[in-house]
Structure 1
Amino acid sequence: MSDRNQRHADTVAVITGGAQGVGLAIARQLAAEGCRRLVLAGRDAAKGETAVAELSGLGCSVRFVPLDLQDTDACLGLIDSAVAEFGTVTALVNAAALGARGTLVDTSVELWDQMFDTNARAPFFLMQGFVRHRLARGGGGHIVNILSNCAHCGQSYLAPYSGSKGALATLTKNVANAYRFDRIHCNAILPGWMDTPGEDATQRRFHGATDGWLERAEAGQPMGQLAKPHQLAKLASYLLSDDAGVMTGALIDYDQNIPGAYPE
Structure 2
Amino acid sequence: MTGSADFAPTTAVITGSDSGIGRAVAVRLAEAGYDVGITWHTDERGAQETAEEVRAHGRRAVVSRLDLTELPDAAHIIDALADELGGLDVLVNNAGTGTATPFVDLDLPTVREVLDVDLVGPLLCGQRAARRMIEQGRGGRIVNITSVHEHQPRVGAGPYCAAKAGLGLLTQVMALELAEYRITVNAVAPGEIATPMTGQEDADVHAVSRPGIPLGRPGDAREVAEVVAFLTGPAASYVTGASWAVDGGMLRMGPMAGSHLDRNDWRRP
TM-score range, shorter chain: 0.7 to 0.9
Task: Tell me which residue corresponds to 2:237.
Answer: 245
2:40 is the counterpart of 1:42: yes
Structure 1 residues 246 and 89: CA distance shift in structure 2, 3 A: same
Q: Does structure 1 retain, via aligned residues, the 8 Å contact 2:71–2:121?
A: yes
Q: CA deviation at 1:217?
A: 4.7
Matches within 5 A, 1:142-181: 142-181=141-180
Structure 1: 5+ residue stretches without partners:
1-6, 203-210
Q: Given the superposition, is the C-alpha separation of residues 247 and 199 from structure 1 closer, same or farther in structure 2, using an over 3 Å criterion?
A: same
* Residue pairs, 1:220-235, within 5 angstroms: 221-235=213-227
CA drift at 1:137: 1.5
Change beyond 3 A, Cα 1:261–1:101: closer
TM-superposed CA distance for 1:76, in Å, is: 2.3
Please tell me whether residue 58 in structure 1 is matched to residue 57 in structure 2.
Answer: yes
Runs of 4+ in 1 over 3 A off after TM superposition: 7-10, 211-221
Displacement of 1:10 in angstroms is 3.8
Aligned to 2:255: 262
Aligned-residue RMSD, C-alpha? 2.4
- Aligned partner letter, 1:243: A
Counterpart of 1:236 in structure 2: which amino acid?
Answer: V
Q: How many residues align structurally?
A: 249
Q: Distance in 1 between matches of 2:161 and 2:67?
A: 21
Letter of the 2:196 counterpart? P
Percent identity between the two aligned chains: 28
Contact kept, 8 Å, 1:93 with 1:145, in 2: the verdict is: yes
Name stretches of at least 5 consecutive residues in structure 2 with no aligned partner. 1-5, 260-269
Measured in 2, the distance between the counterparts of 1:8 and 1:17 equals 25
Q: 1:9·1:33 contact (CA, 8 Å) conserved in 2?
A: no
Using the alignment, how far apart are the partners of 2:250 and 2:200 within structure 1?
23
Give 1:1-264 correspondences, 5 Å limit.
10-35=9-34, 37-43=35-41, 44-200=43-199, 217-218=209-210, 221-255=213-247, 256-259=249-252, 261-263=254-256
Distance of 2:187 and 2:138 partners within structure 1: 20
Query: In the TM superposition, what is the alpha-carbon distance from 1:41 to its structure 2 partner?
Result: 0.6
SS in 2 for 1:222: coil
Q: CA deviation at 1:259?
A: 4.2
Does the Cα contact within 8 Å between 1:8 and 1:33 map onto a contact in 2? no
Q: CA shift at 1:219, angstroms? A: 5.6
CA displacement at 1:153 relative to structure 2: 2.7
Aligned AA for 1:257?
A: M
Sort the Cα spacing of 1:101 and 1:112 in 2 relative to 1 into closer, same or farther, 3 A: same
User: SS of 2:199's equivalent?
Assistant: helix
Q: Distance between the aligned counterparts of 2:13 and 2:96, measured in 1?
A: 15
Aligned residue for 2:174, secondary structure, equals helix
> Aligned pair in 2 of structure 1 residues 69, 242: CA closer, same or farther (>3 Å)?
same
Letter in 1 for 2:160: Y
Distance in 1 between the 2:204 and 2:54 partners?
30
Q: Deviations along 1:84-143, whole A, 9 cap, x unmatched?
A: 212210000011100221222111111100010100010000001001111111251000
Distance in 2, Cα, partners of 1:257 & 1:116? 24
Question: Partners of 1:243 and 1:111 in 2: how far apart?
Answer: 40
Q: CA deviation at 1:8?
A: 9.4
- What code does the residue aligned with 1:151 have? E
2:267 is aligned to: none
